[in-house]
Amino acid sequence: MKVQLSHPERQVEVKGPKRVKDLLRDLNLVPEAHLVIRGDDLATEDEMLKDDDTVEVRPVISGGSN
Amino acid sequence: MRCKKCKTKAVIGLPRHNAAFCKPCFNEFVHDQVARAIKSERMFAPQDRILVAVSGGKDSLALWDILLKLGYRADALYVDLGIAGYSAKSREKVEQFANTTGTACGATLLIHTVQEEEGAGIRELADLIHRPTCSTCGTIKRYQFNRTAVEQGYDVMATGHNLDDEAARLLGNVLHWQEEYLDKQAPTLPASLEGFTKKVKPLYRLAERELAAYAVLNRIDYIVEECPMAKGSKMLLYKEVLNRLESESPGTKQAFYWGFLERQTKARPAPASMAEKDQATLHPCTTCGQPTTAEICSYCKMMARAKASLPR
């Protein structure tokens, strides 16, 4: 699956199927600091992502003004 | 994962509340948390005119959206800091929101452009006066926000500070025992004297991740990119640490910050005596009339130094 990341912006290829929870763990990303967006919707941690999915893992924490 | 309220498919899990919600129930939850904050901290009344500080980020745009949806009279102020490659994008997001949701609810967007009014962008100003950019930015934003609220007759100012912000700030203040700052860390700061507008933080009960989810779910287009000056800031470090704790032990941030508020309420000087203290130490700046402890306020001092160095 294609995984879009930020800070810095980049795309990585990850083998599916994989649960959202496990994807974050494998990428060493703190769940409380990220949202996983698939298409137009949010994906919860228990959702299973497939090989042909494209997801965005968006960091939610800002250090400056919000 | 099933929605705790209506049992349909959930779109977001909230471990700290041992819950998950579908979109409509999540929106209701978010609105309820803000309504609860407004009521318990006596932030403002239904007929009050509110000025929201917006930056183009998810928290401030979500705040404006929520206040309008709750039926409040909320206008917004955006300060264009003139940061190359960033301010234009954040301004665009704010204007887009204002032209759609804002206009539909009869709300006004005010814009203060630092380049025009202070004579240079924030980075150049900071260089001229030999101060860090973030500190210069803070001074200008707080000054302009308060001044606009006072001059335009708003009853209260609102900022998008969330639970993550307040918990991180509390952590920083406690680690270094900044007791003066602890006294001023509350979701509502009263208008202690003429020239100060009441200041509130209606999002203090909501986590940053929840506000991001609210923005995404409600198609609020915000600037995801970080301010280029924020890299390596202490706040980011404190937030990172707290979120690691939160991920392992859900509920940590609220136990820390709300626990502090409960204890502070018992120990906190009543608004009347905070006002008395301010009145004893603050008086109008000889240049602009805004409250200050010195003869000339830090904003006017800063602008005097900058203007002396700016090319004519």
Dist. CA B169–CA B92, nearest whole Å: 29
Whether A62 sits inside 8 A of B217 (CB atoms) is no
Assign residue B59 the CATH number of its domain: 3.40.50.620
The highest-confidence range among B7-11, B186-190, B261-265, by mean pLDDT, is B7-11
- Domain count of chain B? 1
Does residue B292 belong to any structural domain of this protein? no
Does residue A46 belong to any structural domain of this protein? yes
Q: Classify the complex by whether its ipTM is higher than 0.85, answering yes or no.
A: yes
- pLDDT category of residue A65 using cuts at 50, 70 and 90: low
Does residue A21 belong to any structural domain of this protein? yes
pLDDT tens digits along B178-235:
988 888 889 999 887 778 899 999 999 999 999 999 999 999 999 998 888 888 788 9
pLDDT tens digits along B279-293:
788 888 999 888 898
Q: How far apart are the first and last CA of chain A?
A: 31
Does residue B267 belong to any structural domain of this protein? yes
Identify the closest residue of chain A to B160 by CA–CA distance.
A66
The pLDDT value given to residue A66 = 47
Dist. CA B21–CA B7, nearest whole Å: 8
Segment A19-37 shows an average pLDDT of 96
Segment B57-61 shows an average pLDDT of 97
The pLDDT value given to residue B273 = 67
CB contacts, 8 Å: A41 with chain B:
11
Better-predicted residue by pLDDT, B126 or B67: B67
Identify the closest residue of chain A to B60 by CA–CA distance.
A66
Identify the closest residue of chain B to A46 by CA–CA distance.
B1
Q: What does pLDDT average to over chain B?
A: 92
Task: Determine the residue type at A9.
Answer: E
Does residue B4 belong to any structural domain of this protein? no
Q: Does A6 touch chain B (CB under 8 A)?
A: yes
Does residue A33 belong to any structural domain of this protein? yes
pTM summary value: 0.93
φ and ψ at A17, to 5 degrees? -75, 150
Does residue A66 belong to any structural domain of this protein? no
- Domain count of chain A? 1
Does residue B12 belong to any structural domain of this protein? no
pLDDT at B268 > cutoff 70: no
Better-predicted residue by pLDDT, A46 or B185: A46
- Nearest Cα to Cα of residue B38 among B189, B165, B188, B145: B188
pLDDT at A22 > cutoff 70: yes
Is residue B4 within 8 Å of B19, Cβ to Cβ? yes
Range of weakest confidence among B57-66, B120-129, B254-263: B120-129
The pLDDT value given to residue B271 = 63
Going from the C-alpha of B247 to that of each of A24, B17, B163, B203, the distances in angstroms are: 12, 13, 15, 21
pLDDT at A55 > cutoff 70: yes
A20, containing H or E segment: helix A20-26
- pLDDT category of residue B270 using cuts at 50, 70 and 90: low
Does residue B7 belong to any structural domain of this protein? no
Dist. CA B56–CA B73, nearest whole Å: 20
Segment B100-115 shows an average pLDDT of 95
The pLDDT value given to residue B265 = 79
Assign residue A43 the CATH number of its domain: 3.10.20.30
Does residue A15 belong to any structural domain of this protein? yes
Does residue A49 belong to any structural domain of this protein? yes
- pLDDT category of residue B267 using cuts at 50, 70 and 90: confident
Whether B240 sits inside 8 A of A33 (CB atoms) is yes
Domain range for A33: 2-59
φ and ψ at B64, to 5 degrees? -60, -45
Q: Between A and B, how many residue pairs show a Cβ–Cβ distance under 8 A?
A: 94
Q: Does A28 touch chain B (CB under 8 A)?
A: no
Whether A60 sits inside 8 A of B226 (CB atoms) is no
Whether A64 sits inside 8 A of B230 (CB atoms) is yes
The pLDDT value given to residue A64 = 63
Q: Is B229 helix (H, G, I), strand (E, B) or coil?
A: coil
Q: What does pLDDT average to over chain A?
A: 92
Domain range for B172: 37-282
